[in-house]
Every structure is written in C-alpha cells, then in structure tokens.
C-alpha cells in the first residue's frame, strides 16, 4: 500500500498538481493491509481521479474500494471506472451518494462488460434512472456480465421503463444473486416486468422492492419465485453431492471387483502351470516305469528263483497301496470339509459386510435429512429476522416522520405566537405614544377610542380562538396519526401471520420434494445392491468352476508325494486368501470408523450452529425491546411537548388578558 501511495504522489507531481493529504493518509492507514481502500466522504479532485485511474489497471494491493459520498464529477467517475475495467483484484466497489447520471451510467455499463473480478457493486443514492439512454447502456453491461453477485440500486429514481430494461438484462444474466431496488419509482408495470423475468432467471436469490408502490400480490409472487430459486439451487447441489458420492462408491466397487477378478485369473493361471508341471512329471515317470519294465522282462529268466520273495513283497506292496488309497480318500474328504467350511465363512462375512453397508447407508441418509431440516429451520429463522428488521425500520421511519412533522408544527405555532407578541408590543407602543400625545383630546375622542379598543379586543379574541382551534387541530392530527400507526402495525402483524402460513406451506412442499429425492436415492441403492448380488453370483460361478478344475487336478494326481505337496500349497493359498480377506475387512472397519467420526463432527458443527443462532435470536430480541423502550420514550416526550404547548398557550392567553385589563385604556373604560 505504501508503494501505491508513492506512485500516486509521483503521478500527481507529474501533472503539476499537489496530492491530497486525506488520500495519502488513507493510503497509509493500517486497514490497507486488510485489503481495503476507504476514501468515503473525501472530496476527490479531478487530478486525483486521473492518477487513481492510471494506477488501478492490473493488480492493485486491495480487494475493496469505497468511494461513497465523494462528490465525484462525471469526468472523474469516467477516469476511475476506465482504470477499473482492466483491474483483476478489486472484488467490491462502493459508489453511493455521488449523483451519477448519464456519463456515469455509461462508464458503469462499460465496466460491467469488461471487468471480470468485481463481485459486489453499491450504487445507492445516485440518479442513474433519470436518463433512459444512460440507464439502458448500464443494463446492456449488466446483461453481458457473468461475474457480479450483488448489486445495490437503492434511491436511484428508476421508473417502470428502467425496471423493464433491468428485467430484460436479468433474463440473460446468469451470475447475479442479490439485487436491491428499494425506494425507487418502479410501480405496477415495473414490478410485473421483474416478476416475468424471474421465470427465466434461476440464479437470483434476493430481490428487495420496498418503497416502490408495487402491489402486495406482485411482491408475494416475487418472493415465491425467489424462494423457488433458492430451493432449486439447494436441491441441485444436494443431488450433485449424492451423485458424486454414488459415483465414488460405484468406482470403488468396480475397482474391488476388478481386483478380485484379476486375483482369480492369477490363481487359475497358477493352477494351469502346476497342472502342466504335474503332467510333465507323470510322463517322465511313465517313461521311467516303461524302462524298468523292459529291464524286468530282460532279467525275468534270472529272477525266477526269487518269485516267491517277489510275490510276498508284492502282497506287502498291495497292502501298502490299499492303506495309502484309504489315506488318500480320507485326505480328500478332509479337504472337501475344509473347503466347505471356508466357503460358509466367506458367505457369512459377505452377508455381514452387506448388512453393515446397509446400516451405514441408512445412518448417512438419516444424518443428511437431519442436516437438511436444521438448515431449513436456520434459513426460515433468518428470513423471519430480516422481515422483522424491515418492519422495525419502517416503524422507525414513520415515527421519525411523525415526530418531525409535530416538531415543525410546534415550531410554526411558536413562531406565530412570537409574531403575535411582537405585533402586540408594537401596537401597545403606538397606543402609548398616542396616549402621551393626545392627553388633552382624551375627553373629546373618548367614544372613538372605546370603540377602537373594543374592536381590538374582539380581534384578539378571534386570534385566541384561531390559535386554540389550531392547537385542537394539531392534537386531532396527532391522534389520527397515532391511530394510523397502530392500524399499520396491526396490518403488518396480520401480513406477517399470512407470510408464516405461506412459508409453512412452502416447507411442506419442500419436505415432499426431499422425500421424493430420498426415494430416488433408495432406488439407486437398491440398484447397486442388485449389481452387488449379480457380482456375488458371478463369483459363486467362478468358485464352482475353480472347484471343477481342482477336482480335475485331483484326479490327475497319481503320486502320493505330489498330492501331499499340492495339499500343502493349497492350504498355504487358503491361508493367504483368508489373511487378505481379514485385511479387507479391517480396512472396511477402519472406513466405517472414519465415517462415524465424520458424522460425530457434523453433529458437533450442527450443535454449534444452533447455539450461535439462539444467541443471535436473543440479541435480536434484546434490540427489539430496546427499540420499543425508545418508542415509549419518544411518545412520552411528544406528550410532554404537547402539554408544554398547551401551558404556553394558556400562559399567553392569561398574559394577554392581564395586559388588556391592566392597560390605562382598559382601566379608563372600566371606570366609565
């Protein structure tokens, strides 16, 4: 920020103008470190506007620029906004109270077309709507802008034609979310145009139209359309989140099934390799046996003497073969029993995993529903707070207007009394001079003086009567205004009740939509479960095919040693698979624990939000009670002022009567 200030001073010196000290002080303030340049209520010269406009293009060291109530000229506004057109860091711009007109509206339209960083624009207390051509250019810029989120156009003298231009711009704008049009001259036609544009605009969430003479039914329709936009965005975001979660789950399931299929293919390949090795070994042994038989045939004649010994050995070998066959059958039965036990355990584990998955999905859906209900309650309470704030603001305004009118009337009455006092004093002085001059002619013109005094007394009586009538009129007007204020309060309360009923109906509709989305999510879960069941059936088929291959391999195995080795390898494989399944189950358990922790964290966040909201509601109730107390104090002060005015009028009347009765002319007439 200091570098920015030095550049500003250098540019001012280059054009031969002294830099403004107020601007330099603001550039050196510590709030510049927070990304905000506040030049509000500073009278910026044309040279300062030119220098700032030359420094603003590109990246500035602040994200918010406040230029409210600066008394900017049309040329100064054009220079500043021309510099902001290519700025990339300013997110918020405040130009309220600068009386912007045709050239300012055109510069703002160009800014909205070219700038891509500004998200909030405040234009309160200007005159953009007085010239239709300039405001039309501004609306064209708003139509081409797709980055602005908030726009404040309060007190800009926008009529129904300007509102129609603004509605045409909103039909093509897809970024604006908040628009404030309070205290303009939109009227019935402008309100209808804005309501019609909301049928095609789905991004606008807030539209303020108070103080525009717009009928209540149009305001209610606008509020319903805005609520519909808010609900639509919430539903779309929730559906998108659910789709993302489901896609992630489907991808994880696909990866897991692909991994299982690849493991099964690897196991089949290993079995094939072992089968080929066993066939090679069996062929080699058959060849060896054939050679041994040939040798035995060649030496048959020489071994006739050992026939008995060989027969005994043969009987022993047959007995051993029979025993080994029994052992082999027993081992096969044990292997089948072990395989069946493992298969049952796998089925049970799969069933338990499916049940856990269903319970987790049910818990997640319940938590999401609770979260949505709490969010809806928070939104409803916030809207109620906003409505109450607007009502309090309206009541405050009415109270200030009535107090101002009463004060003005009291001041006028006091001024009238002062003028009457002066006139009476002047007339009394004239009478005194006449009395001094015409003492000698008192006896001759006594009747004429008595008539004149009677006439003056009648005039004073008429003036007193008129003053009393004015006081009674002021009192009656105050009473009528108070009655009107009470009637308006009653109307506001009834309207609030109607709005609450409409909101309840809207919440019911929203609940119905949420139930439909929940049913859709349940249907998606059922489809996923069917896919899982199909995958399990395929896995069963593959396991049956593997069992057939194992049986074939068992039939092809002839030697006991090779069978024992295959049995050992199969047991090792089963152990490895069981360990892998145990690892998968532990990973699933860890994932479930993580989900439970996330659910607990979300519940804690919801509790914190609810507590904060309760505190905010308590603060608002305290503010409302303070405002009511202030209102009571103002009413007491008004009544006190009225009593003082009555006392002053009575004192004045008594003083006039006393003065009239105590004057020399009055005494003389009374004596006569």
Domain range list for the chain: 1-243
CA distance 393 to 410: 25
Mean pLDDT of 56-77: 88
Query: Mean pLDDT over all residues of the chain?
Result: 81
Give 285 or 116, the one with higher predicted confidence. Answer: 116
Q: For residues 670 and 672, what is the distance between their CA atoms, to the nearest angstrom?
A: 5
Q: Of 439, 442, 459, 440, nearest to 450 (Cα)?
A: 442
In the prediction, which pLDDT does 521 show?
A: 67
Q: Which of 1-15, 44-58, 446-460 has the lowest mean pLDDT?
A: 446-460
More confident residue, 544 or 33: 544
Q: Which of 105-109, 359-363, 633-637 has the highest mean pLDDT?
A: 105-109
Collect contacts of 469-472 with beta carbons under 8 A, ≥24 apart: 470/413, 471/413, 471/645, 471/646, 471/649
Burial class of residue 176 (count of CB atoms within 10 Å of its CB; 0-12, 13-18, 19+): buried
Rounded CA-CA distance 47/49 in Å is 5
Residue range 156-208, pLDDT digits in tens: 999 999 999 999 999 999 999 999 999 999 999 999 999 999 989 989 999 99
* Helix, strand, coil % over all residues of the chain, rounded to 5: 80, 5, 15
Does the pLDDT value for residue 446 go beyond 70? no
Structure tokens at 575: 């152990």
Q: How many residues can be counted in the chain?
A: 672
CA separation for the pair 370, 365 (Å, rounded)? 9
Q: How would residue 672 be classed by pLDDT, with cut points 50, 70 and 90?
A: very low
Q: Of 83-87, 242-246, 362-366, where does mean pLDDT reach its minimum?
A: 362-366
pLDDT at 509: 79
Is there a contact between 172 and 202 (Cβ–Cβ < 8 Å)?
no
Please report where in the chains the tokens 């009395």 appear, as a residue. Answer: 435
Contacts of 642 (CB under 8 A, 6+ apart): 475, 478
pLDDT for res 445: 65
Contact 119, 113 (CB under 8 A): no
DSSP string, 203-243: S--EEE-TTS---HHHHHHHHHHHHHHHHHHHHHHHHHHHH
Residue 116, pLDDT above cutoff 80: yes
- Contact at 8 Å (CB) between 126 and 98? yes
55, 11 in Cβ contact below 8 A?
A: yes
Q: Which residue has the higher pLDDT, 63 or 467?
A: 63
Residue 535, pLDDT score: 66
The stretch 572-595 carries a mean pLDDT of 79
Cα(517)–Cα(521) distance, integer angstroms? 6
**Range with lowest mean pLDDT among 32-46, 185-199, 424-438, 584-598:** 424-438
- Token pair 């009502």 is at which residue? 391
**pTM value?**
0.42
Torsion of CA 647, 652, 658, 663, to 10 degrees: 170
Task: Answer whether residue 537 shows pLDDT above 80.
Answer: no
**Average pLDDT value for residue range 503-517:** 75
Name the helix (H) or strand (E) containing 37.
strand 36-38
Could you read off the pLDDT of 139-148 as tens digits, one per residue? Answer: 999 999 999 9
Range with lowest mean pLDDT among 91-100, 149-158, 393-402, 617-626: 393-402
Strand pairing class (206-208; 178-180)? parallel
The whole-angstrom separation of Cα 106 and Cα 111 is 9
The mean pLDDT value for 401-407 works out to 75
pLDDT of residue 546: 66
Quote the pLDDT of residue 250.
82
* pLDDT band at residue 34 under the 50/70/90 scheme: low
Average pLDDT, integer, range 28-48: 78
Most confident segment among 25-29, 41-45, 87-91, 548-552: 87-91
Task: Please compute the mean of the pLDDT values over residues 42-56 and round it to a whole number.
Answer: 88
Q: How far apart are CA 53 and CA 48, in angstroms?
A: 8
Judged on CB neighbours under 10 Å (0-12, 13-18, 19+), 14 is: exposed
Class of domain 1-243 (CATH, top level) = alpha beta
pLDDT value at residue 666: 47
Using DSSP's 3-state secondary structure scheme, residue 58 falls into strand
Given a cut of 80, whether residue 107 has pLDDT beyond it is yes
Strand pairing partners for 207? 179
The alpha helices in 115-215, defined as continuous H runs, are 132-144, 160-172, 187-197
Q: Whole-angstrom Cα distance, residue 546 to residue 143? A: 67
For residue 400, the model assigns a pLDDT of 74
pLDDT at 120: 95
């Amino acid at each position: 920020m200091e570098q920015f200030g030095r550049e500003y001073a250098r540019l001012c010196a280059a054009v031969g103008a002294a830099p403004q000290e107020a601007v330099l002080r603001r550039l050196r303030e510590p709030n510049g470190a927070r990304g905000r340049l506040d030049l509000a209520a500073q009278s910026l010269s044309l040279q300062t506007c030119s220098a700032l406009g030359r420094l603003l293009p590109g990246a500035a060291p602040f994200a918010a620029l406040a230029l409210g109530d600066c008394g900017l000229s049309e040329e100064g506004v054009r220079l500043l906004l021309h510099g902001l057109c290519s700025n990339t860091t300013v997110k918020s711009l405040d130009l309220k109270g600068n009386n912007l007109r045709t050239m300012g509206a055109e510069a703002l339209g160009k800014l909205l077309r070219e700038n891509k960083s500004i998200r909030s624009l405040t234009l309160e207390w200007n005159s953009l709507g007085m010239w239709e051509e300039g405001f039309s250019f501004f609306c064209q810029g708003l139509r081409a802008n797709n980055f602005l989120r908030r726009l404040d156009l309060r007190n800009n003298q926008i009529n129904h034609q300007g509102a129609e231009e603004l509605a045409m711009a909103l039909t093509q704008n897809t970024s604006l979310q908040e628009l404030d049009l309070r205290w303009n001259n939109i009227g019935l036609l402008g309100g209808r145009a804005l309501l019609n544009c909301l049928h095609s605009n789905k991004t606008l969430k807030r539209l303020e139209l108070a103080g525009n003479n717009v009928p209540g039914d149009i305001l209610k329709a606008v509020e319903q359309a805005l609520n519909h936009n808010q609900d639509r965005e919430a539903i779309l975001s929730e559906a998108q989140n659910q789709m993302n979660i489901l896609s992630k789950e489907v991808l994880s399931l696909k990866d897991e099934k692909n991994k299982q299929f690849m493991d099964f293919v690897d196991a089949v390949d290993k079995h094939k390799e072992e089968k080929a090795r066993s066939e090679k070994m069996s062929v080699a042994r058959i060849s060896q046996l054939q050679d041994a038989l040939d040798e035995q045939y060649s030496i048959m004649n020489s071994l006739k003497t050992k026939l008995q010994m060989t027969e005994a050995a043969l009987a022993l070998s047959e007995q051993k073969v029979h025993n080994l066959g029994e052992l082999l059958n027993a081992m096969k039965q044990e292997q089948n029993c072990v395989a069946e036990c493992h298969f049952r355990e796998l089925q049970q584990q799969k069933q338990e995993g499916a049940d856990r998955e269903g319970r987790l999905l049910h818990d997640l859906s319940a938590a999401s529903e609770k979260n949505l209900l709490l969010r809806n309650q928070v939104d409803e309470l916030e809207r109620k707070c906003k409505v109450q704030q607007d009502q309090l603001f309206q009541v405050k305004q009415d109270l200030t207007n009535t107090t101002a009118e009463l004060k003005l009337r009291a001041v006028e009455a006091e001024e009238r009394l002062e003028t009457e006092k002066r006139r009476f004093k002047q007339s009394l002085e004239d009478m005194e001079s006449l009395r001094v001059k015409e003492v000698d002619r008192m006896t001759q013109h006594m009747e004429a003086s008595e008539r004149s005094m009677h006439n003056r007394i009648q005039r004073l009586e008429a003036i007193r009567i008129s003053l009393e009538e004015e006081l009674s009129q002021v009192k009656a007007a105050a009473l009528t205004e108070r009655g009107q204020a009470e009637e308006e309060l009653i109307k506001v309360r009834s309207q609030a009740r109607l709005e609450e009923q409409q909101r309840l109906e809207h919440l019911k509709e929203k609940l119905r939509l949420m139930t439909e989305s929940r049913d859709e999510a349940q249907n998606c879960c059922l489809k996923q479960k069917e896919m899982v069941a199909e995958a399990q059936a395929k896995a069963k088929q593959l396991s049956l095919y593997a069992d057939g291959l194992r049986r074939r391999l068992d039939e092809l195995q002839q030697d006991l040693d090779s069978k024992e080795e295959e049995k050992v390898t199969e047991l090792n494989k089963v152990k490895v698979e069981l360990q892998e399944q145990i690892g998968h189950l532990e990973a699933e358990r860890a994932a479930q624990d993580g989900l439970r922790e996330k659910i607990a964290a979300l519940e804690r966040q919801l509790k914190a939000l609810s507590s904060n909201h309760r505190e905010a509601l308590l603060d608002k109730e305290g503010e409302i009670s303070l405002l009511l107390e202030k209102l009571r104090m103002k009413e007491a002060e008004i009544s006190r002022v009225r009593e003082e005015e009555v006392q002053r009028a009575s004192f004045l009347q008594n003083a006039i009567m006393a003065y009239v009765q105590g004057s020399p002319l009055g005494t003389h007439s009374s004596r006569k």
